[in-house]
């Protein structure tokens, strides 16, 4: 079946603009995760969804960041009033089950966000 799909692949925008990043997880996966990866760095956890609810959003760096998930499927990460430090690759992952399981996460190709 299809893997995790993210769009757009690349996004260049001006400082101060809002951006929306989309993630379409593997069908049937109940858990969805957003991570941020700065150049040459490891992954920084942002938010975890179980179904449509987000039991852990502790990694969101500021109130400019928000995310939602609808229908237990597609998720959107929104960054308002973007800043240059928001430039990074945003990775989405999904797994069959979430909290309490040890299921591996399957990743999309990421969105490279560049703030001018």
Partner 1 sequence: AQTVTQSQPEMSVQEAETVTLSCTYDTSESDYYLFWYKQPPSRQMILVIRQEAYKQQNATENRFSVNFQKAAKSFSLKISDSQLGDAAMYFCAKPPYQLIWGAGTKLIIKP
Residue showing tokens 């969101």: 60
The residue within the footprint of partner 1, chosen from 25, 48, 65, 67 (CB under 8 A), is: 48
* Residue 81 Cβ vs partner 1, minimum distance, rounded to whole Å: 26
DSSP designation for 40 = T
* Residue 102 Cβ vs partner 1, minimum distance, rounded to whole Å: 4
Q: In what order do the strands lie in the sheet with 75-79?
A: 5-7, 19-24, 75-79, 65-69
The residue within the footprint of partner 1, chosen from 33, 75, 86, 113 (CB under 8 A), is: 33
Please say which residue, 45 or 80, places its beta carbon nearer to partner 1.
45
CB atoms within 10 A of CB 91: 22
């Amino acid at each position: 079946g299809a893997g995790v799909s993210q769009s757009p692949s690349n996004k260049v925008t001006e400082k101060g603009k809002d951006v929306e990043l989309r993630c379409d997880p593997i069908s049937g996966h109940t858990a969805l995760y957003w991570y941020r990866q700065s150049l040459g760095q490891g992954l920084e956890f942002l938010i975890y969804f179980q179904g449509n609810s987000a039991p852990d959003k502790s990694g969101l760096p500021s109130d400019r960041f928000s995310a939602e998930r609808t229908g237990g499927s597609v998720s959107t990460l929104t960054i308002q009033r973007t800043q240059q430090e928001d430039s990074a690759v945003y990775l989405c992952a999904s797994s069959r089950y979430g909290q309490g399981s040890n299921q591996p996460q399957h990743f999309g190709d990421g969105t490279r966000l560049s703030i001018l």
